[in-house]
Structure 1
């Protein structure tokens, strides 16, 4: 029983459970956004956004391909909304944070001990080191 309790309260398991719950809630939010705003915009431009009535028949067998077509279009729209409204802004934000983090140390060229960027002498081997000019930010 202790092994099961350790499994349940292990950090990764709890984090995964929280991620699944948050993901489900976020999925509902994105689906509602797409059905409330994106679907009507598509209907304005190209007619009805629901193609579930589209079918074809071969030898009396009905193939309802419209449901698949509607699901495919819905998936592509949801993926685009998530990418452009969530993933892309987070990627840009993380890039900005990464640029803001500048190195404060560098390796000594003689003994490879980390020394401050602006140091002119290594504290370990006492050799003189050339200063590094700061790189301009764009």
Structure 2
């Protein structure tokens, strides 16, 4: 994965994450869902559970890895966006929910980043 711009690398990371999750049986509900004050990278259905998935990619760990980049402020924005999603998409409001993180970092080769899927990465 060696896209040029930050936006392109973000899209490529989300595509890899989505493909990985779909191979593991999850079904896409929304991608890049925007609201005032936030964005949900992927919203997927895992059985009866709505999974809000934050995708993070870091080329270098100099400023912390992908996981470390999700601070308390970012978690708060994700929770707020998820609440708005559930209000707008009320058919999913009665389902159990969780927050997952897909952390991508450089792997053995640029074309194959290391993917780390953390289910229930944090509580709302």
Is TM (by shorter chain) over 0.5? no
Structure with the higher fraction of residues in strand conformation: 2
RCO greater where, 1 or 2, for CA within 8 Å and sep 6 or more? 2
Larger Rg: 1
Structure with the higher fraction of residues in helix conformation: 1
Shorter-chain TM-score: which interval? under 0.3
